[in-house]
Structure 1
Amino acid sequence: MHLEPLATVHVELAPMLGVGVTPGGERRVYPIVGGSFAGAAFTGTVLPGGADWQLVLADGTAVIDTRYLLRTDDGALVYIRTRGFRHGPPDVLARLAAGEPVDPATYYFRLTLHFETAAPQYAWLGRTVAVASARREPAAVVYDAYTLS
């Protein structure tokens, strides 16, 4: 098995909506307001309207749960759902929360990606295991996605 580059995805976020502390942890919602993606297999835009329905655990681990739409340059709509984890030393997480630039090598931020589409030319995405390494920027998440072959 090895990783094949799929795309670099830039997801622009609105400010956090804090739901508060729930029985499962602190619920944070980050509305997705746009973005872009580019790779050898497909390129296009991230459509506004999705969100990251994040749950932050007592130890500071963020459980990532995003759902949003991609529109490819040839007009296809692709639903994407990501799940994963972001965690690291408390001082690094505090700097991320404050919107400071942080070296992504100082924290763990990994995702799994699941796709659905009715577009025949991208049907292969729904049958492919994909993973990503991500970084948090002040108003965006950027990740490099790979397929596992």
Structure 2
Amino acid sequence: MHTHPNEGAPGLRFLCRITARVAPVVSLGMLPWGERRYVPIVGGTVEGEPFAGDVVAGGVDWQVQRPDGTLEIEAQYVLRLADGALVEVESRGYRHGPPEVMQRLVAGEAVAPGEYYFRTAMRFRTSAAQWTHLNSVLALGKAIRRPDAAVLDVFLVE
């Protein structure tokens, strides 16, 4: 067995939970690779210690619903932290699961997180001195979809 010279997989450290409240999906129509659509982000909360605050209204979650059932996600939004810092979030990921589970999810029914896959890779940008270390790290989001929100547990990759 080959041992990686960096001695193992990277660690994950919890940063926060982001609850991004969303408006209804807006479809731009079918493209050759799927339905192009967007979801306005209308607010929300950031819960973490000390990384806490609000999701600023005005962000957008751009999506492509592929023919294979996979939803491609490219979200961009801003967090306003309790200390006044503004942090831009860029998040790209995938959501998919068995067709019957995804139909229930779209219908607004309660679906257990283990019944579908919803993960994102995240980057941050900020000029706030106390958070500039976030400009140089990656994070992973493990998410669930509620009828009016996406809820992401965010982990820094160490």
- Mark yes or no: TM-score above 0.5: yes
Write the distance in 2 (CA, Å) between the matches of 1:26 and 1:126: 32
Name the Cα RMSD after superposition: 0.8
Q: How does 1:17-96 map to 2 (within 5 A)?
A: 17-96=26-105
Percent identity, please: 45
- Answer whether contact 2:52 2:81 (CA < 8 A) is retained: yes
- Residue 138 of structure 1, CA deviation: 0.5
- Answer whether contact 2:33 2:67 (CA < 8 A) is retained: no
What is the TM-score when the length of structure 1 is the normalising length? 0.97
Kindly report structure 1 stretches of 4+ aligned residues shifted beyond 4 Å: none
* Pick aligned residue for 1:104 from 104, 107, 113: 113
In structure 2, list runs of 5 or more residues that go unmatched: 1-9
Write the distance in 2 (CA, Å) between the matches of 1:80 and 1:24: 26
SS class of match (1:83): strand
Write the distance in 1 (CA, Å) between the matches of 2:56 and 2:36: 23
* Pick aligned residue for 1:4 from 13, 32, 38: 13
- Answer whether contact 2:55 2:79 (CA < 8 A) is retained: yes
Residue aligning to 2:4 = none
